[in-house]
Chains A and B, each alone.
Chain A
C-alpha cells in the first residue's frame, strides 16, 4: 500500500487537469464527482497508507519517482518522504479537504464557475500535498508556490469585483515577500551543505555547524521569513483578513487544511535547524505571542463574521508559532490538527449562516438563529468551545499543552498565551451570542443541502473527539519536554482563562446585561476600537512605508532612467541613417562618379601595397 504514496498528490492534480480541460463542457453533477472524488480517492489512499504505516515499524519511508533536475552535482529527485509528521499533515489536508470539497459541492451549486472552482480547489490540495510530502526543499518549494498560486486563484475567484482581485493580488504579493526569503534560505543551505534533501540537510547541519553560530541563525531566520509570510504572522499577516474575499469554502480550505499551516509545517520539518539557532527560535516564540495578542484584539472589533474567524486563525497560528518557539514541536502539530477541525467547522458553519442570510456578513444584522438553524448553532457552539479551549474539546488539550510548555520556558510567554485565551473566549462567544441569540431580523432560508450538513456533523464530531486521532510524533521530534500534568496553579489559571472571556461575553452580549454602547462614547475607547478594527493599522503602515514610496518612485521615474540607454542606441541608429541618407541623392551621375572613384581608390590601394 505504502508504495502508492505518489498517487496521493496525483489524483487531485488529475482532477484539476480534467476539470481545467473539459470542465466547461460538463454538467454540474460530473464536475462535482470529479472534484470531490479526486480528493476522496486521495483520502482513501492516505487512510490505507496511514494504516500500514502505523501498524508497522513506523520507519520513515522514501519513494523516489524519478529525476526532476540533474545538473552537475545538483540532483533534485521527485521524491516523497513519509513519516509521522507528513502523515499527520496528509490526514489534515485530505481529510478536512475532502469534507470542505463536499460542502463546496452544495455551497457553490448555483455558481456559474462551478468547474473552474473545483479545478482550482483540486490544484490547491495537490500543491499542498506535494509540499508536505516533498523529501527535498526544491520540491517543497514547488508545492509552496503552487499553494500560493492556488490561493491567488481562489481568493480572486469572483473576479468581476475589482476588490476581490485586489485582495488576491495582496495575498500573492505579501506571501511572495516570505517566499523570496525562503528561496534565499534554501539556496544558502545548498551553497553551504551541497544538497537539497531535507533529511541529509538536517544531518549535515548538525554535524558541520556549531549551534548558535552565524550560519544556522541566518538560515533559520530566512526560513522563518518564509513561514511568517505563508502563515500570516507578524509582520506579514494583513493579507489573511482580506483573503476573505473568496468563497467561504475557500476560506475554510486556506485556514484549516492548507496554506497557512504550511509555515508551521516548514518550521516543524526543519526543526533541527531552528534548535541550532536559539535566537531565531526565541523570535519565533515572540512573534507567535505578539501575533496571537494582536490578532485577538483585532478580532474583538470586527463586525464581519468571516473577518472575525480570519483573525482568530492568525491568533491560533500564533499559538502554534509560540509552541514551535519553545520547542514543543509536537504540541504545535497537535494544535495544527485540532485547529484544522474546529476552524473548518467554524468556517463551514459561518458559510451556512451567510448562505441562509442571503450573503449578509455583518454580525450586528444577524441574530436569533439558534431556533432557525439548530445545526449551524450546534456547530458554532462546539467550534467556539474548541477555539477558546474549553475543557473536553480537542482544542483544550492542544492549547493546554502549548501553554504549559510555554510556562516551562518563559512565564511571560505563558501570560501572553493566557491573555490571548481570555480574548479568544470573549470574541468567539461574542460572535455566537450576536449571531444566534437576540432578535432574528429577517426570515432565513434554512434548508441546507445534505452535502453541506454532513460535513458539519462530521467536523463537529472531529472537533470534539479529534484530539484522540493524534499520531505520536516521538519518532520525528526529540522528546524535549514532559508536559506537567499536575493540577498546579498555573494549570488552573490556564483552564480558567477562556472561562473569564466567556463570562465577559455573557455579561456584555447575552441578552443585554451590560451594554457596550456607552463605552463607545469615550474617545479613547472608540479610537482603540478603530485601531483594532483596522488590524492595528498595519495596512496603513505598509501603505505609508511601501506603497506610497513605490508610487512616488514610479511617478518620478516615469521616463525610466535605465531605458535611456536603449533610447541612446535607437538615437544613434537614427542619426546614422540620416547621415547615410545624404549620399542617396538620386543623381545617376553622382552614383557613377562614386563607383569610379571607389574603383580608382581600390586599384590605387592594390598598387601601392
Chain B
C-alpha cells in the first residue's frame, strides 16, 4: 500500500474546496448552494484527515467528526429554512430572494 503524500492530499482538498466555492458562487438554487457547501465542508475535513495521518495523531480525525456533526446540524437548519422560504416565496432562486437590501 503506497503512501499518499501530504501534498497530494492537500491538493485534492484545495481542489474540492474551490469546486465547492464555485458551486456556491455560481449556483442560484438554494439546495444546490447547500450541496456545494457540503463539498466545501468535506474538503476542509479531508485536509484535517491528511494532516492527522501525516503526523500520526488522532486530532485530525476528531476534528473531522466535529465537522461531520456540524455539517449535519447545518443541513438540518438549512433545509428547514429552505422549506420555509419555499412555502413563503414559492421560489428557491437566491437572486430573486433579495428583499433585505440597503
The stretch among B8-16, B56-64, B66-74, B90-98 that forms the contact with chain A is: B90-98
A582-B99 Cα distance, complex, nearest whole Å: 14
Extra A-B contacts (7), CB below 8 Å, given A583-B102, A584-B102: A582-B102, A584-B101, A586-B98, A587-B94, A587-B95, A589-B95, A592-B24
Residues on the B chain within 8 Å of A582, using CB: 102
Residues on the A chain within 8 Å of B99, using CB: 586
Q: Could you mark each residue 27-51 of chain B with 1 if its beta carbon is under 8 Å from any beta carbon of chain A, else 0?
A: 0100001000000000000000000
Is the Cβ of A585 less than 8 Å from the Cβ of B25?
no
User: Smallest CB–CB gap between B26 and chain A, Å?
Assistant: 8
Q: Which of B28, B33, B101 contacts A586 (CB 8 A)?
A: B101
A593-B28 Cα distance, complex, nearest whole Å: 13
A63-B85 Cα distance, complex, nearest whole Å: 84
Residues on the B chain within 8 Å of A596, using CB: 21, 25
Contact of B1 with A by CB under 8 A: no
Contact of A588 with B by CB under 8 A: yes
Q: Interface centre among A583, A589, A592, A593, by most B CB within 10 Å?
A: A589
Residues of A whose CB lies within 8 Å of any CB of B are 580-589, 592-593, 596
Is the Cβ of B102 less than 8 Å from the Cβ of A589?
no
A580-B102 Cα distance, complex, nearest whole Å: 9
A586-B98 Cα distance, complex, nearest whole Å: 4
Q: Which of A580, A585, A593 contacts B98 (CB 8 A)?
A: A585
Q: Which of A581, A586, A592, A593 contacts B100 (CB 8 A)?
A: A586
Given contacts A593-B25, A596-B21, A596-B25, contact A588 B101 (CB under 8 A): no
Is the Cβ of B94 less than 8 Å from the Cβ of A588?
yes
A585-B94 Cα distance, complex, nearest whole Å: 12
Residues on the B chain within 8 Å of A593, using CB: 25
Residues on the A chain within 8 Å of B25, using CB: 589, 592-593, 596
User: Smallest CB–CB gap between B100 and chain A, Å?
Assistant: 5
Residues of B whose CB lies within 8 Å of any CB of A are 21, 24-25, 28, 33, 94-95, 97-102
Given contacts A596-B21, A596-B25, contact A589 B100 (CB under 8 A): no
Q: Which 6 A-B pairs have the closest CB atoms?
A: A584-B102, A586-B101, A586-B98, A581-B102, A588-B94, A586-B100
Q: Which of B24, B28, B33, B101 contacts A585 (CB 8 A)?
A: B101
Is the Cβ of A587 less than 8 Å from the Cβ of B98?
yes
Residues on the A chain within 8 Å of B100, using CB: 584, 586
Residues on the A chain within 8 Å of B97, using CB: 586, 588
Residues on the B chain within 8 Å of A580, using CB: 102
Considering the complex, give the chain A residue whose CB is closest to the CB of B100: A586
Residues on the A chain within 8 Å of B94, using CB: 587-589
Residues on the B chain within 8 Å of A587, using CB: 94-95, 98, 101
Considering the complex, give the chain B residue whose CB is closest to the CB of A584: B102
Sample 15 A-B pairs with CB under 8 A, ordered by A number.
Answer: A581-B102, A584-B100, A584-B101, A585-B98, A586-B97, A586-B99, A586-B100, A587-B101, A588-B94, A588-B97, A589-B24, A589-B94, A592-B24, A593-B25, A596-B25
Residues on the B chain within 8 Å of A584, using CB: 100-102
User: Smallest CB–CB gap between B63 and chain A, Å?
Assistant: 20
Residues on the A chain within 8 Å of B33, using CB: 588
Residues on the B chain within 8 Å of A583, using CB: 102
Considering the complex, give the chain A residue whose CB is closest to the CB of B102: A584
A274-B94 Cα distance, complex, nearest whole Å: 88
User: Smallest CB–CB gap between B89 and chain A, Å?
Assistant: 13
User: Smallest CB–CB gap between B95 and chain A, Å?
Assistant: 6
Residues on the B chain within 8 Å of A586, using CB: 97-102
Considering the complex, give the chain B residue whose CB is closest to the CB of A577: B102
User: Smallest CB–CB gap between B31 and chain A, Å?
Assistant: 13
A593-B94 Cα distance, complex, nearest whole Å: 14
A219-B97 Cα distance, complex, nearest whole Å: 78
User: Smallest CB–CB gap between A560 and chain B, Å?
Assistant: 32
A582-B94 Cα distance, complex, nearest whole Å: 19
A583-B101 Cα distance, complex, nearest whole Å: 9
A583-B100 Cα distance, complex, nearest whole Å: 12
A587-B97 Cα distance, complex, nearest whole Å: 7
Considering the complex, give the chain B residue whose CB is closest to the CB of A580: B102
Considering the complex, give the chain A residue whose CB is closest to the CB of B33: A588
A592-B20 Cα distance, complex, nearest whole Å: 12
Considering the complex, give the chain B residue whose CB is closest to the CB of A582: B102
A587-B21 Cα distance, complex, nearest whole Å: 16
User: Smallest CB–CB gap between A585 and chain B, Å?
Assistant: 5
Considering the complex, give the chain A residue whose CB is closest to the CB of B26: A589
Residues on the A chain within 8 Å of B28, using CB: 589
Residues on the A chain within 8 Å of B24, using CB: 589, 592
User: Smallest CB–CB gap between B32 and chain A, Å?
Assistant: 12
Considering the complex, give the chain B residue whose CB is closest to the CB of A596: B21
User: Smallest CB–CB gap between A530 and chain B, Å?
Assistant: 71
User: Smallest CB–CB gap between A96 and chain B, Å?
Assistant: 74
Considering the complex, give the chain A residue whose CB is closest to the CB of B37: A592
A582-B102 Cα distance, complex, nearest whole Å: 7
User: Smallest CB–CB gap between B14 and chain A, Å?
Assistant: 12
A585-B101 Cα distance, complex, nearest whole Å: 5
